[in-house]
Amino acid sequence: MKGLSTNPKVLLCTSYRRYKNDYFSVSGIVSAFKFPRARSFCRISPGLRFIKQNVPQVEILEHPLWYEYVEKLKEGWDVVGFSFYQKQIGEIIRMIEEARRHGIKEIWAGNYGALDYSIPSLVDRVFIGSAEDKIARVFGRCVPDNEVEHPAMMVHFSLFPALRHLTFGMIYTAHGCPFECTFCQNTAFVKRHFTINFTSIKRVLEYYHKLGISEIVVLDELFGIYPKFADKITNLLARYKFRWWALSRASIFLANLDTWYERGLRLPSIGVESLKQDALDIVRKKQKVWQVLEFARRTREKPGMYRIAAFMVGYENMTAEETIEDAIQLKKVGFDAHTANIITPFPQTQLWDELDSKYGIFDRTYRHYDVKHLVWKHPLISSTQMHYLAKSVRAFLNRPFDVYRSGLKRLFWEELRAQGPRFLWQNLVKGPINTLSIDDRKQFFFPKLPHRTPLQSQRRRRQVTTRQGKSVHAERS
């Protein structure tokens, strides 16, 4: 670091928006219809919200327009840091150049885009993984993993531009994933696996409930890898009668499906990737096709459950014809919606090293690392063919009749039959009305929780066992 003061002025920001109403499709689901389409506007950054909640000394700027970013630089900063993804590096380079022109002393980089091999030469400091503690230490503080607090963060859901239909409250319960799929950057990015402070999650859910939010999105890379903690979280979700959406593996959902369904799970999402076992083995998915089929069968029996499957196009051992056959088999399984992405190697993944050494990565254009472009030399399918293939598979898997009639019938009609007027009030009247009064861009942060010192925690846990086999506390802090 360049001799920063003990209390530097730090601005952390995301990549800028190229236009005002920039949005992303929810879960990447794209159908043949332009409208309606499930979407959410680019307005908040969960990563930056976490840092601000735990290190209040920093200031954050989420998805600014270019002129907003330039105006913010004029306030004068010791540090400007960027949170970004691989596909945004081109925009980040422009933002770095502008910050340098304004005389910024130090530039930081974080999030998955910071894994790119070019980033260390462009910035002064790179943060890999959860950065709350590392940034707190700049200010002479520390944030242990068990004290990482959850911020409030909400996102509006829309089917048509300029209209809000629902507001989702978002939570993380844990960071990290124990699996090592070759295409996933998580292994390189998340070095420390831990659960978020439970009391802070409870506080956030209470806040969402008071606002009238009824839908929760669990953003974990893989929900349920800490069974006891997940049990506490799902009990909380049930207490406030939330409906919730989570991403996990078929095997984890199968082990918890009945309990989680009773506690409000309605939108489970899994990475199917392929229904060909040899393709799954190539990317070391460690998932069996029979688990996916069993998951689809059991969830089909649950009224009101809308199932999303992630599919990948472009396995090195599969031709275009075999890929189409794979997609047809997936369609027959009966999921309600699908994503279909082209297999893309990202820096510091096993897939990057394997594909670069075997076939070569020919396209280094940052914007093409959006899982919609073929950036490596596939041995059986050309780049043009792959683009057309992926587009065709998406259209086939997400036919409007299925997504908007059959799928929404499961999500709404079956719940309406089960709950009656309460469902109508909660989801078609109260939810949309409450959404109109919620400003998702407002940066609201909670007061810091009173955390115990390590010695206090040790005393709290210390127990002795009496001769009668009873356990009592030896000391209470």
For position 358, what pLDDT does the model report? 97
Each residue's pLDDT tens digit, 265-322: 999 999 999 999 999 999 999 999 999 999 999 999 998 899 999 999 999 999 999 9
Question: Taking a C-beta distance cutoff of 8 angstroms, is the pair 242, 262 a contact?
Answer: no
Give residue 466's pLDDT. Answer: 38
- Report the percent of the chain where pLDDT is more than 70: 82
Torsion on CA atoms 416, 419, 425, 426, rounded to nearest 10: -100
Q: Select the highest-mean-pLDDT range: 73-82, 157-166, 414-423.
A: 73-82
pLDDT at 156 exceeding the cut of 90: no
Task: Specify the pLDDT at position 426.
Answer: 66
How large is the angle between the packed helices 89-101 and 66-73, nearest 10 degrees? 30
Neighbours of 18 (CB within 10 A): 10
Kindly give, in sequence order, each residue whose CB lies less than 8 Å from that of residue 408, ignoring residues fewer than 6 positions away.
306
Residue 52 has a pLDDT of 97
CATH topology for 165-341+402-436 is TIM Barrel (3.20.20)
Is 209:240 a contact under the CB 8 Å cutoff? yes
pLDDT per position as a tens digit, 211-231? 988 899 999 999 999 999 999
Average pLDDT over residues 350-374: 96
Tokens for 43, please give them: 């307005």
Mean pLDDT, rounded, for 454-467: 43
pLDDT of 160 reads: 54
Contact 27, 128 (CB under 8 A): no
Question: In the prediction, which pLDDT does 17 show?
Answer: 86
**DSSP summary character for residue 115:** G
Taking residues 53-79, report their average pLDDT.
96
Res 164: pLDDT:
60
User: Quick check: 441 pLDDT over 70?
Assistant: yes
> Cα-flanking dihedrals φ and ψ of residue 440, to 5°?
-70, -20
What is the reported pLDDT for 163? 59
Q: Check pLDDT > 90 for residue 10.
A: yes
> What pLDDT is stored for residue 30 in this prediction?
45
**Contact indicator for 92, 111 with CB cutoff of 8 Å:** no
More confident residue, 355 or 428: 355
Q: How confident is the model at residue 24 (pLDDT cuts 50, 70, 90)?
A: low
Instruction: Over range 413-432, report the average pLDDT.
Output: 68
pLDDT band at 1 (very low <50, low <70, confident <90, very high): very low
Give the up-direction half-sphere exposure of residue 169: CA atoms within 13 A in the CB hemisphere. 27
Helix (H, G, I), strand (E, B) or coil at 119: helix
CB 316 within 8 Å of CB 378: yes
Q: Average of pLDDT values for 398-402?
A: 78
Short-list 415, 343, 351, CA closest to 381:
343
Residue 155 reports pLDDT greater than 90: no
Question: What percent of the chain has a predicted confidence (pLDDT) above 90?
Answer: 71
**Mean pLDDT throughout 247-271?**
97
Collapsing DSSP to helix, strand or coil, 251 comes out as helix
pLDDT surpasses 80 at 401: no
Host H or E run for residue 393: helix 383-397
Q: Is residue 194 within a helix (H) or strand (E), and if so which, with residue range?
A: strand 194-195
- Greater pLDDT, 37 or 18: 18
Residue 460, pLDDT score: 44
Domain locations along the chain? 10-145, 165-341+402-436
Query: Do residues 64 and 16 touch, judged by C-beta distance below 8 A?
Result: yes
191-205 pLDDT, tens digit each: 889 999 999 999 999
HEC assignment per residue over 204-233 = HHHHHHHHCCCEEEECCCCCCCCHHHHHHH
Strands of 95-165, DSSP E: 106-110, 125-126, 154-157
What is the arithmetic mean of pLDDT over 366-392? 96
Mean pLDDT taken over the chain: 87
Residue 136 has pLDDT above 80, yes or no: yes
- What is the CATH T-level fold of the domain 10-145, as seen in this structure? Rossmann fold (3.40.50)
pTM for this prediction? 0.87
